Amino acid sequence: MAEMQTLFPFVRIVKQDKMKRALLLNVVDPSIGGVLIKGEKGTAKSTAVRSMAQFLPARPAVKGCAYRCDPRYPKRLCADCQARIAAGEELETVKVPMKVIELPLNATEDRVSGTLDLEYVLKTGKKKFEPGVLASANGNILYVDEINLLDDHIIDLLLDSAAMGVNYVEREGVSFSHPARFVLVGTMNPEEGNLRPQLLDRFGLSVEVEGEDSITTRTEVIKRRLAFDADPEAYVDSCKDELKALTKQIEQARKLITEIPVDDNAVTMAAKLSMKFSMEGHRSDITLIRAARANAALAGRKEITKDDMKDVAALVLAHRIKRNAFDKTKFDESEVTECLARM
């Protein structure tokens, strides 16, 4: 068995605060809808996502379940777990680590969704399902590098499953479904092509990362990378306390978020920001509230403030603004401050 690669630690990535915030918010509240990270090569996009495995908290799962169903939500259990309960079995719970599951760029629809053995169905009258990537992704992070190079129908499939929390497979009139609740994270280099606006809107958050143009910052990046390359295990070990602290922060935020009310003030702030930036529909309003609440939870607070809205506004709104094909105007965050100042 090949030795697992030691990854550069998330907590030692220099700057790129918006990218790190977007990822953490989705871990605290997966209903935010995932994140798309856009940027040139060498800006720590893939490093940040893959290294999340070092601090992701464990979660409860049904022992022996192929989809690691979460026993806290009985209505979301797979058919097998429901059948076990119906037969009078008491489901045993175990703790499983949250993982980063990576989707191969050349993955077929069958590889993603899984396959039904129709021959077995015809012979026995029973369903036989071979799980795919979406089964592995349930309760985890599903990461797609160079997501803009995936076929659109595969991206649609991923986004639909992420939104519904279920993977539904149908072949020749035979159907099967299983839980598929995951955080979809995509990274891409815009120079290699962009996603359709309809697909962009389906991502809860989006962030554009750039290379550092400060000598001080670039110097620090080089020093940290060289120190890591010299002894990866020792370098990761040197920041284990920071990683443990981050895990604890996420666990506490997950508990706290249920206690944070969505009051009229938070709803009004979200509505005003969406109207200010001419958002279509209400996906942006809902996502602003969810992201701001997760942001408050990460900070250990029990209320949504203007600062929370300011922290998440660009992540939620920037990729939803309608622009001309060659318009590279950046999102003006001063307009967010101005909009909220009137409240």
Active site residues: 283
Which is it for strands 100-102 and 141-145: parallel, antiparallel or unpaired?
Answer: parallel
Q: 3-state SS string over 89-139?
A: CCCCEEEEECCEEECCCCCCHHHHHEEECHHHHHHHCCCCEEECHHHHHCC
CA–CA dist 155, 307 (Å, integer): 33
Helix (H) or strand (E) segment spanning residue 186: strand 183-188
Which is it for strands 100-102 and 205-209: parallel, antiparallel or unpaired?
Answer: unpaired
Among 96, 106, 173, 94, which residue's Cα sits nearest to residue 133?
A: 106
CA–CA dist 138, 155 (Å, integer): 17
Query: Measured in Å, how far apart are the chain's first and last C-alpha atoms?
Result: 59
- Alpha carbon separation from 343 to 195, 197, 266, 302, 337 (Å, rounded): 35, 31, 11, 20, 10
CA–CA dist 181, 139 (Å, integer): 6
